[in-house]
Amino acid sequence: MAPHAIMVSFHLQGHIIPFVNLALKLASKGFSITFAHLHFVHQHISQSQHDADPFAAARTSGLDIRYTTFSDGFPLDFDRAFDAEYLKFFRDGYPDKVDQLVGKILQSDSSTAASNYFLIADTFCAWPEKIAKKYGLVNVSFWTQPALVFSLYYHLELLRGKGHVPVDGRREMVDYVPGVDSINTKDFMSYLHDTELEVIHDVIFRAFDAVKSADFILCNTVEELEADTISALQQKQPFYAIGPLFPADFATKSIARSLMPEANSADWLNSRPPRSVLYVSFGSLAKTDRNVIAQVAGGLLLSGVNFIWVVRPGMVDSGGGGGGGVLPEGFEDMTRKRGLMVPWCSQNEVLSNPAIGGFLTHCGWNSILESVWCGVPIICYPLFTDQITNRKLVVDDWKVGINLCEGEGIINKEEVAEKIEFVMSEKRSEEMRQQMEKVRRTLENATSVDGSSERNFDRFVEDVSHQIFS
């Protein structure tokens, strides 16, 4: 009988996508999966276009992946992303909901011995230890960000003890975190900078206490890219680098309908010369400051490049809805021939289109992995959370991208235009493109049959099966 994973993701897009890819990968190894997601996620997915649906591949895969939904008790349209009330519930009320759900799943399955089940939860969850103990389940934690970010949270007490957290505006080099050569405190995740602690800090800090009791930790990264950090973590707990986790059909979905109804985005992109289009996206989540949007738009105007820009409704910090009222006057008219603004697109398909020559990104970890996978050089404008630390990996360590602006947080359209021109000029960015090709090959090799991520994944499958059945 195959092991059966109950998988509970964190409720944000950037976590759900790698969770679904992990479910598919485990199921392809013969595991059964019950994927639990909240009603509101289910509703969002049901209403979304096919190409924004991370579950589409799982539904049509023919593998043993089952779905179950549960309610968090909040209205379906409640904006949960980083809402303090919701985070309090996530910390205090959510564990009981998962407890009931797991109990129900185990009770309702008469065909499989309960002992075949195990738990895979997002590392941001602090409840798995208790629930795993109660039901006698092996407890697997899945971290969807880089090992460096994991390690900094993991060594929080050490950082606090040395007085480097909270960062509180200081700029100091830290060289004592096991497996982390050296890192400036400015590159710590945003939550380690704050002196005033909110619920989100408590949620994360508790989660990293809890992960110390996980039986296994999976990480969506590549061993060769973070070797020292990973091997230091492996001294503490079984830690497996299994990334990048992507769908098998990475680049085959259609691009979402354009905001410009007369234009077809896929045709538009296909008709552009190779490496002539800059892709711009600040991710699925954070609100972006009005001034940043205005300066990026100004930089796009000055640079004269082709671009495709994801302008999500509500992405601007205050007022203005989408880009409305924030973009320079006449922006849309002036760029109609060379620019496309979309509310959403199939990012994987956009990035793998030969017309794309650069990616201006907020440095979400999935976006970085996807960009490297497609060999697209990166312009970094991190907004918050792990994005700050991810930037260091991209620009300082791997040298596959540049900063959008050098002055911290200060952005102006002239500098934006200069950075865009640099990345889009194949001659000027040649060295960076060569470096990108090396890192891209590292990812490709890791996921090949004998690659590190495949081997690590197989080792995990063996180790977890052994623990479940022993």
CB of 135 to ligand UDP, least distance (A): 30
3-state secondary structure of 124: coil
- Alpha-carbon distance of 462 to 29, in angstroms, equals 11
Q: Which is nearer to ligand UDP, 21 or 442 (CB)?
A: 21
The token pair at 63 is 């593998």
CB of 413 to ligand UDP, least distance (A): 23
Pick from 385, 465, 381: nearest CA to 423: 381
CB of 345 to ligand UDP, least distance (A): 5
Q: Which is nearer to ligand UDP, 166 or 244 (CB)?
A: 244
The token pair at 397 is 């360590």
Pick from 389, 390, 386, 271: nearest CA to 378: 390
Find the largest Cα–Cα distance for the chain: 68
CB of 438 to ligand UDP, least distance (A): 22
Sheet holding 306-310, edge to edge: 339-342, 306-310, 277-281, 356-361, 378-380, 401-403
Question: What is the binding site for ligand UDP (CB under 6 A)?
Answer: 12-14, 17, 281, 283-285, 310, 344-348, 364-367, 370
3-state secondary structure of 140: strand
- Alpha-carbon distance of 24 to 30, in angstroms, equals 10
Q: Which is nearer to ligand UDP, 357 or 364 (CB)?
A: 364
Q: Is 273 left (phi over 0), alpha (psi -120 to 50) or beta?
A: beta
CB of 113 to ligand UDP, least distance (A): 36
Pick from 180, 356, 158: nearest CA to 276: 356
Q: Which is nearer to ligand UDP, 35 or 344 (CB)?
A: 344
CB of 138 to ligand UDP, least distance (A): 27
Q: Which is nearer to ligand UDP, 13 or 69 (CB)?
A: 13
Q: Which is nearer to ligand UDP, 15 or 164 (CB)?
A: 15
- Alpha-carbon distance of 135 to 114, in angstroms, equals 9
CB of 115 to ligand UDP, least distance (A): 35
Q: Which is nearer to ligand UDP, 14 or 375 (CB)?
A: 14
